[in-house]
Amino acid sequence: MLLSHRLTGVLAGVLATVSLVAPAQAQDDAKSQFQARYTELRTAMEAHDSAAVGKILAPDYTMTDMRGQVHPAAEVLERMAKMPAGAGRKGETTVLSATVTGDSASVEQQLSGSMKRAGDDGEEHTMEMQAKSKDTWVKRGDAWLLQTSVQVGVVIKRDGEEFFREGM
């Protein structure tokens, strides 16, 4: 009888520990899963690979900028095609949080990038940008597709000096 009570206590302790650890592990798994998707997206965009980008964006994808203007996928792809190729550019996306609920996921991410470009003064300057967004992903079959991105903050620096900030 005493062994039965001890075993029940140990079992309850193990279950309590698992129930506390499982959500944290699920959060980490979701973050790493979406981190990989953002890496795929950034790589495809840097390569100007519209077909690969199209496999990551949902057909009804929209991006809402800091001014509240909504841009459909076609417009985002058009802007991507006009971006200069990667020379002197660096970019990194970091998933800050990810929560999966059924076939939908809410992800907060931050894009950090830099590039060198000539200024009006003829000198080369380092431009840095950080943009934070709250994104919604939807699961279609086995794939997670990015459905919406809503920018919630932007910081822009020139040669290390901040000259624009909104929402961060």
pTM of structure: 0.77
Give the tens place of pLDDT for each residue, 59-93: 999 999 999 999 999 998 888 777 766 556 678 99
Direct distance between the N- and C-terminal alpha carbons of the chain, in angstroms, rounded to an integer:
60
Q: What is the mean pLDDT of residues 104-129?
A: 92
For the record, the structure tokens of 104 come out as: 């939908």
Asked if 99 contacts 105 with a C-beta cutoff of 8 angstroms, the reply is yes
Q: What is the mean pLDDT of residues 149-166?
A: 94
CATH of 2-166, one of 2.60.40.1120, 3.10.450.50, 3.40.50.2300, 3.40.190.10: 3.10.450.50
Position 77 scores a pLDDT of 85
Q: Strand locations in the chain, DSSP E? A: 57-64, 70-72, 89-101, 104-118, 124-140, 143-158, 161-166
Cα angle at 133 between 132 and 136, to 5 degrees? 155
Averaged confidence pLDDT in the chain: 83
Phi first, then psi, for residue 37 (nearest 5°) are: -65, -40
Instruction: Give dist(CA 70, CA 147) in Å, integer.
Output: 13
Q: What is the mean pLDDT of residues 51-65?
A: 95
> Which pLDDT band, with edges at 50, 70 and 90, does 118 fall under?
confident
Q: What is the mean pLDDT of residues 26-40?
A: 88
